[in-house]
Amino acid sequence: MRNDFRARNHPAYWAFAVHRVSGVLLTVFLPLHFWALAQALQGEARLESFLRWTDQPLVKIAEVGLVVLLAAHMAGGVRLLMLEFLAWREWQKTLIAVATALSLAFGLAFLLNLL
């Protein structure tokens, strides 16, 4: 049991978990995205109504979360490619931290752009 805890406290485990969770949340978002795009097919008034709804602060915060999820999932995918094609090195732990920081930085940059 103690060994199990140590394995789950490793940065690579958390990188794996963030990649999985971000992938699942992006999968949940995808049908909503297609529904939003379909509003354009219903006519200009329907699309305009939907776009006005998206100006709410809660929707803007959700957009920031979406950007962070996309950046985190992309960073996790790059990490998996590195694991697949490169031998494990100690500096890869640093890359996990850098990828996390960049994901949050992209989200913050997007948030600042909204303000």
Q: What confidence category does residue 24 fall into, taking pLDDT thresholds of 50, 70 and 90?
A: very high
DSSP letters, the chain, are -HHHHHHHTSHHHHHHHHHHHHHHHHHHHHHHHHHHHHGGGG-HHHHHHHHHHTTSHHHHHHHHHHHHHHHHHHHHHHHHHHHHHS---THHHHHHHHHHHHHHHHHHHHHHHH-
Tokens of 103: 């994901």
pLDDT digits (tens, 9 = 90+) for 6-22: 667 777 788 888 899 99
Nearest CA to 37 out of 50, 24, 26 is that of 50
Give residue 34's domain range: 2-114
Mean pLDDT computed over every residue of the chain: 85
What pLDDT sits at residue 101? Answer: 87
Nearest-CA neighbor of 63 among 84, 33, 87?
A: 33
Distance CA 49, CA 71 (A): 29
How many domains does the chain divide into? 1
Here the CATH number for the domain that contains residue 39 is 1.20.1300.10
For 26-49, what is each residue's pLDDT tens digit? 999 999 999 988 988 998 999 899
